[in-house]
Chains A and B, each alone.
Chain A
C-alpha cells in the first residue's frame, strides 16, 4: 500500500485512484421542495410530482423513481399521463407543453424529455387566446385537447405537437350550437375543465368558467347537451358509466347532472352546499365514485365555511353517513383517488386517496374503517420539524436494526396495514450492501431514525426527548380530540409541524454506538442525554447532573436562555431509546461537540465555554475544563444577546432610513402635492438603493489573535487509546479542539471492568497544543502504527475491525479549518502538513475518515479523509501522507445551509440538504453506490385501441 501512496504522478496510483473514487449524485431523498402539480397514471401505477423549480419526479413501487428537470426551471402547472402509455405531458407556467417518456436503456428505464411545444395563436391575437387552462389527454393517445383562456379548444397531435387547426373547437362554434338566449359570448370564456366521456371517446364534456357545461360530440362537431350552472365552475367529474356527472363551484356547492338522450338542456339532479348555509369557499376538485354496495363516495377539496374555517386546507370524504373533512397541515396542491381501473369492473371501489400538500404527501386508506393514514415508503417530510443536525451510522448490526424497527412499529399502531397502493414499475437495483441509519435531530427535540440503506429513505423510529423536561406545551392539547358531533367533522392528518414549542429543546449533536445501543443526544440549552435501548415501556427516574463549565471564572453573566426545567420523579418512556442520564451544562449554551465511548462508559460534551467528561456508569462528572478566554465576553453572553444587538442595529438603520424619508417629505411637502411627494419618495428609495449597491463589500484582513471571540468554542471531541505520556504504555485519552486552534489532551484512568463501579475514573491534562495559525480545530484523529485510524469503541470486540497496531508509533492528525497536520506521539513533533487555505483559499467544513474499496479487486481497500470545503468542493486526502487525491465540485458555494448540513458515511457516501425537506445523496466510491435502477413495463397495444384510432380518423375526415 505504501508504494501506492508515494507522492508524484505515479501511473499505478493514478489507475488505482480510478478504481477507488468516482463522484455521483445518486438520488434525492425526502419531500420535493415547493411541489406545484400532481399526476397519476392508473395504467402505470406511477405518480408524478412537479415543482415550482421545474423538476418532475415519478414514483412507483418503493425503489422505482425517476427525475427530470425542465430546462426552463419554470413552475410545473399540470401533469397529464397519456393513457396506456409510458408518456406524460407537462404544462409549465410559461404556457409551454413538454412531452416526457420513459424509455428502457441498458436494462433500466429512463425519463427523457422528447418534445416541447408552445401554442401559437393567429398573428395579432391576444396572449389569452392561447393561454392553456385545461388539458385533456385523449384516450386515443393521439391528440391533446387544450382548453384556453379565450374559450377555444385546440387540438394537437401527439407526439409531434402539430396543431390540427381544422379540429379546433372555437367558442363561436359552441355558441352556435347551443340554443337559447341564456348563453352569450361571455359564457364561453375560459375553459375550466375538459373531461372525456368514460364510455364514448367521441364525446367530451367542456366546462366553461362562467358555469356553462357542454357535452360536445367530436365526430359531428355538435353540442349533444348543455347544462347551465348558476355558479362559477371549478371542476367536473364523470360517473363511471357516463350517465351522470358532477360539477363543483366557486361558492362551495356541487351539482349532479343527468345525461339523458331525451332532454338536451337538463336541470340539475341535486345541488348542494355541503358546508352551508353560510358562505363557503370554492370546491376546486371533486370525485364521484361508485362502489359495489351502492353507496357512492363523494370526495372534494375545499368548500369550508369561509368565516370560521376558511383557512383550513381540507378534503372531505362522504360515504353514506360517514363524512370526514381531512384537515391538512399545509395547502393542498392536488389529490387523486386510486380506484379499480379494470375497464370491465362495474364500479370504481376507491381504495385510497393520495393527497399532495405543500409540505407532505398523505395517503388515506379508504377501505379500512376509520380511514387511517398509510405510511408512505418514500417522500418523507424530513422537515416536519426543522432539521438541526444529522448523524450517519453505517453497517448496523442486524440485532440493533430489528430492535429499532420493533420500537418504531409500536409507534405506528394506528397506521393502515394497506400495502403501498402506488406500486408501478419494478425495482431492479441490487439489494443495498448494508444496513445504514441516518439520524436527524430536529428543532422540536426529536430524533428521527431513517433507513438510509437504499433508494427509499423511510422513517423507522422517532425518539422524543421532550418527556424529560417540563415545557410550556400542554401534552393534552390535541387537535384531534374534537367531539363526535363537531361540525365540520375535521380530522387533522399529516405530521408537518414547523412550530417548535421551545427552541431550547432543539437537538444539536447525536452519537449512536451501534454495538452497545447507547445513544447520546445533546441540545440547544446545554442538555446532554445518554440513552439505552429498551424493548419495553418503562417508568424510571432520569439521573440528573450539572456541569459548571465556567468553574472559577468570575464576573461573567450569561445573558442567553435559561436551562430547561427537568421533570422530577418517575417518567414514563415508551419502548425504544430511554434516557437514564441527563447532564446540563452551565451556562446552558448550545452543545457544540459530543463524543461517547461505550466501552469506557464515558460521554464527553463541549460548549462555547468549555468541555466536560461524564462517567455514565457511575453517573459522576469526571472533570470539566473551561476553555473560555478571559476577554471573550461575546461567548459568555450567549447567542441571544447577539441576535438582540443585530436586531437593534437593524432597527436603527431602518429608523435612519425612515427619518431621512420623512425629512425629504417635509422638505417638499409645503408647496407640493401628494404625487410630488410620492415621486420624491420613490426617488429617494432609488437613491438609497443605488447607494447600497455602490457601497462595496469589503473584507478585513487581520491575523487571528487569542483574544478573538469564540476561541473557546469546543468544536471537536475524540476518545483514543494511545500513547499520550510515553511510548511504552498506552492509555485512554480524551482530545478536544477549540475554535481558537487549541488542542487539549487528557489522560484518563478507567478502572478495569471488574472494579468499574468501585473505583472512579480519573483524568489529568497531559498536553495542550496551540496551533499558531489559530484556525478552528474541526477534527482530531489518532493513527496507529500502520497509519490506520484507530477503530471505534467496541469495533474490535465485535470482530469487525483489526485491532490497532500498538507496537509502532502513533500519530496525531489535527484538522483545522485551514490545515491538516500530523504530529508524532507521545512526544509531539510536527511531521506533515497540508495547507488548504493558504494554497487554495478554501476552508474545511466537514471531515470524516472513509474506507474506499476498489471496484476491480475485492481485497483492496484504503482509508482516506473526505473533506468538504466552504466552497462546496469535496476533496479526498490520503492517509497518513495527506496527499490530495481528487477533488469534486459538489455543492454550490452560496448554499451555506447545504454545506452545513452535509454528513459523510464511513464508506464514501454522503448526504446534504438541497432544501429544508430534501437530502441529496452522493457517492464518492466506485463500490458503494445507492441509486435508483428500475424498469417500467411497456404497455401492449390492444385491438381495442385500433378501433379508437380508425374512429378518430373517420372523424377527422368528416370534419
Chain B
C-alpha cells in the first residue's frame, strides 16, 4: 500500500504524533509498525524517536520515503542467519555500514527491539587461542542447541606433551542458538563455564553446570579451528575493521568478575503469584550483605545494556543512557570517530 501525504518541514512535531498520523493514514490504529526512511545514501534508517524523526524530516529532498513494516512480520532472526553476515568473518560482531549500501534490503529494526543473543567477551584478557562466548537464552525461544562429550586434548606440561581428558562440543543443533551465532563449533574444547574451570569435572558435572547457567551461559572454549583467531587479532584483516584492540578500560578483570557473578543473577528472578493473582517477579529483599549490593548494581548495568545496540548515528544517545557499558560495547569515546557510521549488531 502506498500513501502520499505532506508534512510541514519547519514544524514536524513529535514522533508520537507522526506515528499516530501514519496509523491514521493507513487505517491501522492498533497495529504496531516499524517506521523507516531512506536517507541520502540510500540506507534504510529507523524512525523511532523525536531525534531521528527530525533528522529524517530535515533530509527530505523534498520527498521523504517512509517504509512501514508490520512489527510481527519483521524477522529479527534474519540478522543472525543472514548469509551476508556469514560470508564475512564469523568472528566479527560488526556489520559494517557498507553492507547496507550493497544490500539495502536488510531491515534495521527498532533499537529498542535489539537484544543480545550472544557475544564474544574478554578478548583483551584471554589468550589468542581461547574464546569466551556468552549466550543469552532469555528473550528467545530458540534452543541453546548443542551437545558436549568427553575427549582428550594434548597439553604442554613441564614433562612434555601430555594427553589430558577434556570436554568438547560434539554437536550443534541446526537452527539452534549455538549454531546460529557461529561462535561455537563441533570439537571446540570447553575450558570454563561461567568462570569456573571444567578440568577435573565429569561430563555430567559440566552438563549440570551449563544447564544451571543456561539463562546466561558464558563458556570459554579453545576453538578447534584456530585459524580464525589469527584473523581476529590481525589488523590486516579487512573484514574486521571493527577492531577489538584494547579499547576497554584497564579495570576489565573486575568487570568480568562482576559480570560473571552478577549478571547471571539479574536475569533469573523467580516469579510469585499471590492469591492466584498476576505473576510478579520476586523482588530482592533489602540488601543486607555486600553481595546483594553488588547484585543490584549489576542489575542496573544490565538494563542499560539491554537496549544498548544502537546505530552509530545515535551514539551520543547511547552514551548518555548507559553510564557504564559492558562487554558488548567495545568502543570508547576516543574511538567514536572511527566508528561513526558503524552499526553494532551482536548475533
Taking beta carbons and an 8 Å cutoff, which residues of A are in contact with B? 7, 696-704, 765-773, 775, 818-819, 821, 823-824, 828-832, 835, 837-843, 870-871, 893
Contacts and interface: CB of A to CB of B under 8 A. Distances in A.
Contacts of B207: 699-701
B contact residues, range? 35 or more
B300 interface: no
Interface in B126-150: 137, 143-150
B269 interface: yes
A491 to B, nearest CB: 50
A818 B213 CA distance: 10
Interface in B17-35: none
B184 to A, nearest CB: 10
A703 B149 contact: no
B215 A772 contact: yes
Contact of B272 (A767, A840, A870): A767
A830 B270 contact: yes
B176 to A, nearest CB: 9
A700 B171 CA distance: 9
A870 B211 CA distance: 15
A831 B275 contact: no
B282 A697 contact: no
Contact of B147 (A699, A703, A772): A699
Nearest to B276: A765
Contact of A700 (B147, B150, B289): B147
Interface in B187-219: 193-194, 196, 198, 201-215, 217
A699 B269 contact: no
A773 B215 contact: yes
11 contacts: A702-B145, A703-B137, A766-B275, A769-B273, A773-B268, A824-B285, A828-B272, A839-B209, A841-B202, A842-B205, A870-B208
B182 interface: no
A829 B149 CA distance: 39
Contacts of B335: none
A823 B214 contact: no
B270 A697 contact: no
Given A700-B147, A765-B275, A830-B285, A843 B208 contact: yes
B283 A829 contact: yes
A768 B269 CA distance: 14
B170 interface: yes
A871 B205 contact: yes
A838 B212 contact: yes
A701 B210 contact: yes
A364 to B, nearest CB: 49
Contacts of A870: 204, 208
Given A701-B144, A702-B145, A771 B209 contact: no
A698 B171 contact: yes
A841 B194 contact: no
Given A704-B214, A830-B285, 15 more contacts: A698-B148, A699-B148, A699-B149, A699-B206, A702-B143, A766-B275, A770-B273, A772-B270, A821-B270, A830-B270, A837-B212, A838-B264, A841-B201, A841-B204, A843-B208
Given A766-B274, A769-B271, A831-B285, A702 B196 contact: no
Interface string B39-83: 000000000000000000000000000000000000000000000
Identify whether the interface residues of B are mostly helix, strand, loop, or mixed: mixed
Interface in B300-340: none
A674 to B, nearest CB: 41
Nearest to A871: B205
Interface string B244-279: 000000000000000000001000111111111001
Nearest to A828: B272
Nearest to B167: A699
B270 A768 contact: no
B209 A841 contact: yes
A656 B196 CA distance: 43
A368 B150 CA distance: 64
Cβ-closest 9 pairs across A and B: A841-B205, A703-B214, A837-B212, A699-B207, A772-B268, A768-B273, A841-B209, A831-B285, A696-B149
A818 B205 contact: no
B284 A830 contact: yes
Interface of B: 137, 143-151, 170-171, 193-194, 196, 198, 201-215, 217, 264, 268-276, 279, 282-285, 288-289
A830 B217 CA distance: 22
B275 A829 contact: no
Nearest to A770: B271
B210 A829 contact: no
A835 B212 contact: yes
A829 B205 CA distance: 30
Quick one: which of B171, B201, B208 has the most chain A CB within 10 A? B208
Contact of A703 (B215, B283, B288): B215
A769 B282 contact: yes
Nearest to B209: A841
Given A767-B272, A770-B270, A841-B201, A701 B284 contact: no
A775 B282 contact: no
Contact of A842 (B144, B208, B264): B208
A841 B210 CA distance: 8
Contact of A701 (B147, B215, B271, B289): B147
Contacts of B275: 765-767
Contacts of A771: 270
Contacts of B282: 769, 823, 828-830
Given A699-B148, A702-B214, A830-B284, A767 B274 contact: yes
Given A699-B204, A702-B144, A828-B272, A773 B212 contact: yes
A775 B212 contact: yes
B147 A698 contact: yes
Nearest to B205: A841
A839 B288 CA distance: 22
A697 B272 contact: no
Contacts of A829: 282-285
A830 B148 contact: no
Contacts of B279: 770
A769 B269 CA distance: 11
Contact of B273 (A7, A698, A767, A830): A767
B28 to A, nearest CB: 34
A837 B274 contact: no
A777 to B, nearest CB: 11
Contacts of A772: 215, 268-271
A769 B274 CA distance: 9
Contacts of A696: 149-151, 170
Quick one: which of B151, B198, B285 has the most chain A CB within 10 A? B285
Given A702-B145, A775-B212, A828-B272, A838 B194 contact: yes
A741 B144 CA distance: 20
Contacts of A842: 205, 208
Contact of B283 (A769, A830, A832, A871): A830
Nearest to B268: A772
Quick one: which of B149, B270, B283, B285 has the most chain A CB within 10 A? B270
A561 B201 CA distance: 40
Contacts of B206: 699, 841
Contacts of A702: 143-145, 211, 214
Contacts of B210: 701
Contacts of A831: 284-285, 288
Nearest to B214: A703
A842 B272 CA distance: 27
Contacts of B208: 818, 837, 841-843, 870
A697 B206 CA distance: 13
B270 A769 contact: yes
Nearest to A811: B285
Contacts of B274: 766-767, 828
Nearest to A6: B289
A775 B213 CA distance: 12
Given A773-B215, A838-B194, A699 B272 contact: no
Contacts of B268: 772-773
Nearest to A768: B273
